[in-house]
Amino acid sequence: MIEIRRLAQVQRVVLWRYMDTGGQALVEHFLASVVPPILSSVEVGPRWTSTKMLLASLAESSSMVRHAMMAFSALEYSGGENSVRTDRRALYDKAYNVLVTNATKDSTGTAGNLVYGLATAFFLAYADLITNKVRDAQSVLRDAATLLASHRGKQLSTAEKRLIAWIRLIDSRAASAGTDGAFVAETDRNEYTPTTARHGTPNEGDTRESAGRGDDAIEDILFDILYAPGIAFYQRVQSIMARVSNIDPWHRTRGTVADETEVMAVAAKISEDLRTLEAQRPALMDHAVAGALTERHIAQDIAVAITRSYRVYWANYHAGHIHLHRVAYKHLPATPDVMEARTTIKRITNLLQQAGDQLPVNFIWPLLMACCEEDGLEERQWMIQAIRNMQSQASNAKPIADVLEEVHRRQDTTKLRADVRQVSLDLFSMSFAVV
């Protein structure tokens, strides 16, 4: 309840101070909304309330963050006010111009600017992917990587690490649509991995809040302790996704003996790293995926949130095996790893659906990869329909499902694997990020 009251107070401050700018409805809409789809498997359980508190506070303190939040919110806004929709680009440009200025400063710039820059980059890049402006997203992500590099060596706050994890989600998805994965590459080190919210030196206000919250604070701490290993695992999965994308024909030359020899060497290392990552998966992973984590062990809402997220992480891990094969070995029959990955992703899909969960946007990628390798017509149909059912105002699920149908048509005709991005370009003259 303390968090909810604080969120309401911050929201009122933001709305009161900036209501004359025409952004009241947009700020109010975002702060009242559910978690953005791409964060639905990351900011779960008690984390989403604290997430909104963080973002509301940043929007209150920074016009750059506020404009970026408003630009993103305008994409989902359903109030029917055309003037709000029309101003989205102007809001975006105001935020982006300040972000570019901050990104070009050297390391002597104000350290406090980093958290605002990261929050701004998240909203802007996410908006670009939703509106299929992949190259604009790449520019934003490069600026975010440059800004972060200027603070290399400085101790990052919990909020900054949290925002980094969000932007990595955006960047890994953008890489699948042709960007260079600059932000994932910049943050592919342990110091950028989110830790539990109360690990090490407490952040501002943590101690006072925890002392006044009793059992709720203990529950939140327990959630973070159990959840953090899954987030770290998922970050490694994203790194592998970006590495695989970097050896596809859209990121480098292919087709000569020298090219293919180099690609095979890189692919072999990625395959080895996938096996290492599997061996290092969180101790709770297998139990959570199987549904064995219940209220007999921890509070039910925590068990449900961790189970759902760990299932999504595990499915995304297995998608890495299929992605690697379709990029590096597309002319060769499916390996046992690919077949196991397809089976595992379908099994997890069924587990999530049986639990009554709506599949999160972060599940589009595993389903896309598994369905590309599926031969059974009925199996294809329900997997494509599952992707269509994930369509929301902040998702590319519908066109991705259309692309998948055409992938199958071409594969059935030629008996060769079809390139998903090429099919997307042929059908829509653009490449969709898988969000």
Distance CA 65, CA 56 (A): 9
- Identify the pLDDT of residue 20: 43
Q: Hey, how many other C-beta atoms are within 10 angstroms of the C-beta on 105?
A: 14
* Residue 147, domain member (yes or no): yes
**CB within 8 A of 401, min separation 6: which ones?**
384, 385, 387, 388
Q: What one-character DSSP code corresponds to residue 363?
A: G
SS (H, E, C) 84-100: HHHCHHHHHHHHHHHHH
- Identify the pLDDT of residue 393: 57
Q: How confident is the model at residue 83 (pLDDT cuts 50, 70, 90)?
A: very low
Q: Hey, how many other C-beta atoms are within 10 angstroms of the C-beta on 333?
A: 8
Highest mean pLDDT among 45-49, 66-70, 287-291 belongs to 287-291
- Identify the pLDDT of residue 264: 96
Q: Hey, how many other C-beta atoms are within 10 angstroms of the C-beta on 330?
A: 13
Q: Which residues of 13-45 are buried (b: 16+ CB within 10 A; e: fewer)?
A: ebbeebeeeebbbbbbbbbeeebbbbbbbbbbb
Q: Is 197 or 161 the better-scoring residue by pLDDT?
A: 161
Q: Is 246 or 3 the better-scoring residue by pLDDT?
A: 246
Q: Hey, how many other C-beta atoms are within 10 angstroms of the C-beta on 125?
A: 32
pTM for this prediction: 0.84
SS3 content of the chain, % helix, strand, coil (to 5): 70, 0, 30
Closest CA to 189 of 142, 148, 144: 148
Distance CA 142, CA 332 (A): 35
pLDDT in tens, 377-413: 999 999 999 999 888 756 788 999 999 999 999 999 9
Hey, what's the torsion of the CAs at 11, 16, 21, 24, to 10 degrees?
Answer: 40
Q: What one-character DSSP code corresponds to residue 7?
A: H
Average pLDDT over residues 63-88: 70
For residue 92, the enclosing domain spans: 1-194
Round the average pLDDT of the chain to a whole number and report it.
Answer: 83
Q: Is 253 or 22 the better-scoring residue by pLDDT?
A: 253
**CB within 8 A of 295, min separation 6: which ones?**
303
Distance CA 268, CA 389 (A): 36
Q: Hey, how many other C-beta atoms are within 10 angstroms of the C-beta on 172?
A: 27
Residue 348 scores a pLDDT above 60:
yes
The one-letter amino acid at 259: D
- Identify the pLDDT of residue 219: 66
Per the structure, how many domains does the chain have?
Answer: 1
Hey, what's the torsion of the CAs at 62, 37, 393, 175, to 10 degrees?
Answer: 90
Residue 203 scores a pLDDT above 70:
no
- Identify the pLDDT of residue 199: 39
In percent, how much of the chain has pLDDT > 70?
A: 83
* Residue 90, domain member (yes or no): yes
Distance CA 54, CA 134 (A): 27
Residue 269 scores a pLDDT above 90:
yes
* Residue 298, domain member (yes or no): no
Q: What one-character DSSP code corresponds to residue 151?
A: T
- Identify the pLDDT of residue 33: 72
Q: Is 214 or 392 the better-scoring residue by pLDDT?
A: 392
* Residue 59, domain member (yes or no): yes
pLDDT in tens, 89-147: 888 888 899 988 877 764 444 545 899 999 999 999 999 988 888 889 999 999 999 99
Average pLDDT over residues 74-88: 57
The one-letter amino acid at 354: Q
In percent, how much of the chain has pLDDT > 90?
A: 43
Half-sphere exposure of 118 (CA within 13 A, CB side): 28
Q: Are 33 and 40 in contact (CB under 8 A)?
A: no
* Residue 257, domain member (yes or no): no
**Among 84-88, 183-187, 219-223, 371-375, which is the least confidently predicted range?**
84-88
Question: For tokens 């379709």, what's the residue?
Answer: 326
Q: How confident is the model at residue 45 (pLDDT cuts 50, 70, 90)?
A: low
**CB within 8 A of 186, min separation 6: which ones?**
145, 148, 149
Distance CA 201, CA 214 (A): 20
* Residue 151, domain member (yes or no): yes
* Residue 165, domain member (yes or no): yes
* Residue 227, domain member (yes or no): no
Distance CA 115, CA 61 (A): 11
